[in-house]
Amino acid sequence: MTPLFARMTVAGVGLIGGSLALAARAAGLVGEVVGYGRSEANLRLARERGLVDRVAREPAAAVAGADLIVLAAPVGASTALAEAFRPHAHPGAILTDVGSVKGGLVEALEGRWPDGRRVVGAHPIAGTESSGAGAAREDLFRGRRCIVTPTDATDRDALGRVRALWEGVGAVVEEMPAALHDEILARVSHLPHLAAYALVSASGEMQIGGRRVLDYAGSGYRDTTRIAASRPELWRDIALANRAALRGALAEFRSVLDRLEHLLATGDADGLSAELAAAAALRQRLGGER
């Protein structure tokens, strides 16, 4: 059977890129996978773990003959990567990404690709606080959503093939406009990251009565702040790239905190009950999936 793509280049063989490479190879969706990245140690690990068939450290060698190029580096590096690959890419090559922000990014990539219609924005909603080729897992996308954000310009064939790739590695693919994606992800991902970082900042180095506060953290604290261990430069880029939506989500969150502060200040037990019970009911419905 002919694979979906003869040669896939993955730029950034970390948790997401590496897992996609591994899963696509395992599912026979790709003829060959070339890993590209800046860290020699990470590329070596990717090679050793069999995530990719071979690695390249120069853009020309990385994308030569590729019919699919996946940008899986941090969001802030994507446009520069597209520019570096452009002169060496096959004219018909499809460019896709896995970034957590889609709005300005997909447009920027369209403008930087030989055929802008062959750019397909995608975002698999999967991940952990771990990173690097060592964290890649073949089953990372199984049963997870992958949002693709075609524009009016997007070529239907390119879109269909990128969809098929994600479906082939087990994801549930859904299309929506980039702006809608960014508004939603600001609430369910970008804001929670910001809140987790802020919780740690607020008391992470605090001492009270000669005791280091963080020494008393239990499993609740660990859960709530786990994603604050994520790579900070990654989340700085995401936060800035999705600044408008994130500021909206942050304002909503701060207004809930204002309400809670008021309930505490007035000792309003009934009001506090109602507020917490509504949140608990919603959260219980969501389930744990630990």
Q: Looking only at residues 147 through 166 of this chain, which bind its own copies when binding is defined by CB under 8 A?
A: 147
CA–CA separation, 126 and 145 (whole Å): 8
Of 48 and 268, which has the nearer Cβ to its own copies?
A: 268
- Residues numbered 216 to 255 that lie near its own copies (CB under 8 A) are 216-233, 235-236, 239-240, 243, 246-247, 249-255
Of 22 and 194, which has the nearer Cβ to its own copies?
A: 194
| Number of neighbouring beta carbons within 10 Å of residue 249 | 22
Please name the residue ranges forming H helices in 102-242: 103-111, 156-168, 178-185, 191-203, 219-225, 232-241
Q: Which helix (H) or strand (E) holds 36?
A: strand 30-36
| Number of neighbouring beta carbons within 10 Å of residue 253 | 16
| Residue tagged 């007035």 (tokens) | 266
Q: How far is the CB of 279 from its own copies (least distance, A)?
A: 4
Q: How far is the CB of 193 from its own copies (least distance, A)?
A: 7
Total residues interacting with its own copies, rule: CB under 8 A: 94
Q: How far is the CB of 225 from its own copies (least distance, A)?
A: 6
Told to check if 142 binds its own copies by CB under 8 A, we report no
The helix/strand/coil state of 19 is helix
| Number of neighbouring beta carbons within 10 Å of residue 139 | 14
Q: How far is the CB of 14 from its own copies (least distance, A)?
A: 16
Binding string, residues 191-220; x marks residues near its own copies by CB under 8 A: xxxxxxxxxxxxxxxx-xx-x-xx-xxxxx
Of 2 and 284, which has the nearer Cβ to its own copies?
A: 284
- Residues numbered 255 to 274 that lie near its own copies (CB under 8 A) are 255-257, 260-261, 264-265, 267, 269, 272-273
Local structure of residue 31 (DSSP, 8 states): E
CA–CA separation, 289 and 271 (whole Å): 30
Of 118 and 123, which has the nearer Cβ to its own copies?
A: 123
CA–CA separation, 132 and 134 (whole Å): 5
Q: How far is the CB of 230 from its own copies (least distance, A)?
A: 7
Residues 6 or more apart whose CB falls under 8 angstroms from that of 102 comprise 121, 123, 147, 149, 178, 181, 182
Of 38 and 226, which has the nearer Cβ to its own copies?
A: 226
Q: How far is the CB of 176 from its own copies (least distance, A)?
A: 7
Told to check if 91 binds its own copies by CB under 8 A, we report no
Are the C-beta atoms of residues 75 and 189 closer than 8 Å to each other?
no
